């Protein structure tokens, strides 16, 4: 218990990020480990790295919890990668393949915004709330009652989707205009630059303002629960102890 009698709220961002790790981190890491570390073919690495997102997607449907958006997205990306990997014989096509994968992710993110379920929210909310229960509740209140907050949430996924589409276009153009031996390392540079750009732009224009709004909302509600209230409001009047004025009788 804290000094004010309330139970302390856990701050466990690692636990909040678990779905993101399962749906995105493990499939991507397993792909690179299997292909680079164990020397599996690209097709085999993509196939084995699809197991976790496939199981997560099926499990969500079996439980009746609906489709797991991130897990399904990674599964679709892997399927697209498998299909493109069968087109061998053209090194430039193989270089452009990664751009096609980026386009699938970018388009999915943009479409998810217009469907009212931005895909990047799964990673944005734990980052903003830091796994704190009070901030998570504040997030839900702002999502329900703050139009600027909802716009920032949608804009976050739009920025990421747009940046990935631009990166896709740059990869495809480079695959057919830049020498192959140059594009092999330049493709990685483009990916890193795109991720850093999305992090800076989306973080500065969306994540940071949202974090400030969530923190302010959590503090506002926390202050009310502690008996504080905005000056001049009804709560302030209620907090002033009643003063008994003795009756004055006439002579």
Stretch 53-59: mean pLDDT: 69
- pLDDT single digits (tens) 120-174: 888 889 889 988 899 999 999 999 999 999 999 999 999 999 998 999 899 889 9
Q: Is 132 helix (H, G, I), strand (E, B) or coil?
A: strand
Rounded to 5°, angle at Cα 135 from 239 and 212: 90
Q: What is the average per-residue pLDDT within 218-240?
A: 55
> Phi first, then psi: what are they for 137, rounded to 5°?
-65, -40
**Residue 237 pLDDT:** 37
To the nearest whole percent, how much of the chain has pLDDT over 70?
Answer: 57
Q: What is the C-alpha to C-alpha distance for residues 239 and 151, in angstroms, rounded to an integer?
A: 36
Pairwise CA distance, residues 117 & 156, whole Å? 12
Q: Classify 11 as helix, strand or coil.
A: strand
Q: CA 88: distance to chain centroid?
A: 34
CA angle 231, 237, 240 (to 5 degrees): 105
Residue with tokens 């990047």: 120
Sequence-ordered alpha helix ranges (H) in 146-251: 147-177, 180-202, 208-225, 234-239
Locate tokens 């990997």: which residue?
A: 85
Least confident of 15-24, 149-158, 212-221: 15-24
Work out whether the CA dihedral 42, 47, 49, 53 comes out positive or negative: positive
Q: What angle (nearest 5°) sits at the alpha carbon of residue 140, between those of residues 135 and 144? A: 145
Buried b (16+ CB within 10 A) or exposed e, 117-140: ebbbbbbbbbbbbebbebbbbbbe
Segment 84-127, tens digit of pLDDT: 666 655 667 767 776 777 788 889 889 999 999 898 888 889 88
Is the distance from CB of 224 to CB of 235 less than 8 angstroms? yes
**What pLDDT sits at residue 230?**
45
Q: What is the mean pLDDT of residues 222-226?
A: 65
């Amino acid at each position: 218990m804290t000094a004010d009698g309330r139970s302390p709220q856990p701050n466990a961002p690692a636990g909040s990020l678990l779905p993101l790790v399962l749906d995105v981190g493990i499939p991507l890491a397993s792909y690179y480990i299997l292909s680079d570390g164990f020397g599996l073919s690209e097709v085999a690495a993509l196939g084995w790295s699809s197991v976790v997102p496939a199981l997560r997607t099926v499990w969500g449907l079996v439980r009746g919890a609906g489709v797991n958006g991130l897990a399904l997205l990674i599964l679709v990306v892997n399927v697209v990668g498998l299909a493109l990997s069968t087109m061998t014989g053209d090194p430039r096509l193989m270089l452009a393949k990664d751009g096609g994968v980026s386009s699938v992710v970018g388009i999915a993110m943009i479409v998810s915004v217009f469907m009212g379920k931005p895909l990047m929210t799964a990673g944005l909310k734990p980052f903003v709330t830091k796994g704190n229960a009070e901030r998570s509740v504040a997030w839900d209140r702002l999502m329900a009652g703050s139009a600027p907050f909802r716009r920032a949430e949608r804009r976050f996924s739009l920025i990421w989707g747009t940046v990935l589409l631009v990166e896709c276009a740059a990869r495809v153009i480079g695959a057919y205009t830049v020498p192959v031996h140059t594009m092999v390392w330049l493709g990685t540079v483009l990916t890193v630059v795109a991720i850093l750009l999305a992090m800076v732009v989306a973080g500065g224009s969306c994540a940071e303002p949202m974090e400030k709004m969530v923190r302010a909302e959590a503090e506002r509600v926390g202050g009310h629960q502690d008996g504080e209230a905005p000056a001049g409001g009804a709560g302030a009047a209620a907090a002033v102890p009643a003063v008994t004025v003795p009756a004055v009788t006439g002579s």
